């Protein structure tokens, strides 16, 4: 590969420098997530957008999942220039981490560089010792091994991502998208993050504390059949007041049993689920109905008042209904 004057993409840009690690056994999906968010040209963002480069941690050829061979723009020396380093998964949760990489990451962190892992990439950050006494997360499949090997880490396997300021960790593969968008939101604000999310065709914002998986499998012939119609009923009655008692009665369960089984099935509490559904309804109306007022949208989505609607938009989506409509309204 011919080296350019700068290993960072779009060298005319002046924004944060992001370096994604490349290694033998590269996790292709997680690597693609980092490149999609930080590495694509986005002229509409102006000259302060991210500059992205890839750094090989070892000599090639570097194999990637799917039978690909990866070539990087440089080596570990690029970490000295980075403002953010992304570890896009790791080749195995039990695979050793090369000492030169650990030294380079610790040195970068000491200089103020942010470190971010996606999915099994936590194995690399955990090996540095920088996660000790900090909160972190990873894919639920790896949580037990990580917790056993690194008991000093305050591991939370029930969330999508954890932001500790200078160190960030994401859970399963798709949660990497959420964390990358969260970083964009931190660096450039909600409008820019929502614009990137729109291009990715993903929700503008999922909170890091949202559950990442169903805790226990639910027998399809029982709770699945009993709660499936209930969820359909909720979707058709969002405009009405829906209490926990109403939902439990309709499911034919006590409130306590209903709450437990509903979380098992959906990964969230009935209240969290209802709020998410109402926000989705409000977003759909803002996108598709240019003439309907915010007052009517608040009623149609079950929030009751515009003030309540704005409160939840601000808390969950970091924007207002009006700003969301301006950004995402479908062209006629």
For the record, the structure tokens of 93 come out as 């949760």
Rounded to an integer, the average pLDDT of 212-219 is: 36
| Phi, psi of 220, deg, nearest 5 | -65, -35
pLDDT value for 198: 82
pLDDT value for 205: 54
222 has pLDDT over 60: no
Q: Where are the domains of the chain?
A: 17-200, 220-267, 272-328
Closest CA to 203 of 114, 287, 141: 287
Report the SS3 class of residue 272. Answer: helix
The neighbouring-strand residues paired with 167 are: 115
Helix (H) or strand (E) holding 39: none
Over the stretch 18-75, which tens digit does the pLDDT of each residue have?
999 999 999 999 999 999 999 998 888 889 999 999 999 999 889 999 999 999 999 9
Per CATH, domain 17-200 is 2.60.40.1890? no
Q: How far apart are CA 6 and CA 68, in angstroms?
A: 25
Query: Which architecture does CATH list for 272-328?
Result: Orthogonal Bundle (1.10)
| Phi, psi of 131, deg, nearest 5 | -90, -5
N-terminal to C-terminal alpha carbon distance within the chain? 46
Over the stretch 242-288, which tens digit does the pLDDT of each residue have?
999 999 999 889 999 999 888 877 777 899 889 988 988 898 888 87
Rounded to an integer, the average pLDDT of 83-109 is: 97
pLDDT value for 328: 66
Q: How far apart are CA 36 and CA 171, in angstroms?
A: 18
Share of the chain above pLDDT 70, in %: 88
pLDDT value for 283: 85
Helix (H) or strand (E) holding 117: strand 114-118
For the record, the structure tokens of 34 come out as 């980092």
Closest CA to 208 of 260, 283, 173, 158: 158
* Cβ count within 10 A of residue 94: 10
Over the stretch 181-194, which tens digit does the pLDDT of each residue have?
989 988 888 778 88
Report the SS3 class of residue 118. Answer: strand
């Amino acid at each position: 590969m011919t080296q350019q004057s700068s290993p960072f993409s779009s060298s005319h840009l002046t924004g944060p420098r992001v370096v994604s690690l490349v290694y033998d056994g590269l996790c292709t999906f997680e690597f693609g997530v980092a490149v999609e968010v930080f590495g694509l040209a986005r002229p509409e963002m102006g000259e302060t957008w991210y500059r992205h480069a890839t750094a090989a941690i070892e000599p090639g050829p570097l194999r990637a999942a799917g039978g690909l061979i990866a070539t990087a723009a440089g080596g570990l020396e690029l970490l000295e220039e980075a403002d953010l380093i992304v570890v896009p998964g790791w080749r195995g949760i039990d695979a050793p981490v090369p000492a030169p990489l650990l030294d380079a990451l610790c040195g970068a962190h000491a200089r103020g560089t942010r470190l971010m892992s996606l999915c099994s990439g936590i194995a690399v950050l955990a090996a540095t010792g920088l996660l000790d006494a900090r909160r972190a997360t990873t894919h639920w499949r790896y949580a037990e091994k990580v917790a056993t090997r690194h008991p000093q880490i305050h591991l939370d396997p029930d969330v999508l991502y954890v932001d500790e300021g200078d160190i960030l960790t994401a859970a399963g593969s798709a949660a990497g998208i959420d964390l990358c968008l969260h970083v964009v939101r931190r660096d450039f604000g909600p409008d820019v993050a929502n614009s990137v999310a729109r291009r990715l065709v993903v929700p503008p914002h999922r909170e890091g504390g949202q559950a990442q998986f169903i805790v226990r499998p639910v027998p399809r012939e029982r709770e699945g059949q009993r709660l499936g119609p209930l969820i359909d009923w909720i979707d058709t009655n969002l405009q009405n007041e829906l209490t926990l008692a109403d939902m439990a009665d309709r499911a034919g369960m006590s409130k306590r049993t209903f709450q437990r089984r509903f979380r098992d099935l959906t990964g969230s509490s009935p209240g969290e689920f209802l709020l998410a559904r109402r926000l989705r309804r409000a977003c759909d109306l803002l996108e598709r109905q240019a003439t309907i007022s915010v007052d009517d949208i608040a009623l149609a989505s079950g929030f009751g008042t515009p003030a309540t609607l704005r409160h939840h938009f601000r808390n969950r989506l970091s924007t207002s209904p009006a700003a969301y409509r301006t950004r995402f309204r479908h062209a006629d």
